[in-house]
Amino acid sequence: MTAARLSQLHMMTQLYEGKAKILYQTEAPDVLRTVFKDDATAFNAQKRGQIIGKGEVNCTVSAAIFRWLATRGIATHFLEQTAPTEMLVRAVKILPLEVVARNIAAGSLCKQTGLPLGQVLPEPLVEFYYKNDALGDPLLTRDRLLLLELATPEQLEQLRNLTLVINRHLREFFEQCEITLVDFKLEFGLDSDAQLLLADEISPDTCRLWDRAETDPQRRVLDKDRFRHDLGHVEAAYQQIRERVLAVAQSGDG
């Protein structure tokens, strides 16, 4: 199917609406249309609001990064961005796991371990969380994950290794944006051939991103932590991420 044909596929039945996106069927059974929303949530949806322009930023940033990762050999569900807040993606069966890679201590890692905010980790840390809102998306040990049959041992090892590779590529990319990649969340899915694909999004919603030129602990934040912790200037931070990401992606240097 050509890109021109894909771009002509129209919205059909809504399949799913989450906190940040809506998924629709298209005329092609293996292609879905994703619409990014301006809605924002934090702390397992205990805090809700809107970030004006967030949908466009997250869609555009995700599309640019997915395209860039593809040049590094990372298979993703992304097909094409068809509008400022819309993209076409391959239909996948999402694994009920959130895979988190951490380079610097922040967020729940600090709360649960006592590590100080900003401490650089000796090596990247990969964690698995159960994607289950009713349970609060708990952190899982390997044995608990296997007990729940959320992934096979082989898939678990593949997810860990792939996340470390993606982390290395994303750190390189964001360094060119003059941004420090603190940590980020990934989701993966299986396509009709049982191939593991990177899915969901990579954006200021799913990454902690700090301005490398800024030393102030609050002003350096360019991600959803500005919304979580009422730091202000949320929209401006998101737009700054969009501008920097597109500048690097379009320069060809990434």
- Selected residue with higher pLDDT from 10 and 84: 84
Dihedral, CA of residue 36, residue 129, residue 114 and residue 211, to nearest 10: -30
For residues 121 and 204, what is the distance between their CA atoms, to the nearest angstrom?
A: 21
Identify the architecture of domain 3-92 in CATH.
2-Layer Sandwich (3.30)
Instruction: Indicate the pLDDT class of residue 11, thresholds 50, 70 and 90.
Output: very low
Q: Taking a C-beta distance cutoff of 8 angstroms, is the pair 162, 69 a contact?
A: no
pLDDT at residue 162 in the model: 98
Instruction: Please write the tens of the pLDDT for every residue from 201-228.
Output: 999 999 999 999 999 999 999 999 999 9
List, for residues 80-100, the tens digit of each pLDDT value.
Answer: 999 999 999 999 999 999 999
CA dihedral over 165, 61, 208, 24, signed as positive or negative: negative
Upper half-sphere CA count for residue 242 (Cβ side, 13 Å): 17
Q: Write out pLDDT tens, residues 88-143.
A: 999 999 999 999 999 999 999 999 999 999 999 999 999 999 999 899 999 999 99
Query: pLDDT at position 177, please?
Result: 98
For 7, left (φ over 0), alpha (ψ -120 to 50), or beta?
A: alpha
For the entire predicted model, the pTM comes to 0.92
Q: What H or E segment, with its residue span, contains residue 33?
A: strand 31-36
Indicate the domain borders of the chain: 3-92, 94-234
The superfamily in CATH containing domain 94-234 is ATP-grasp fold, B domain (3.30.470.20)
Q: Is 94-234 in the same CATH topology as 3-92?
A: no
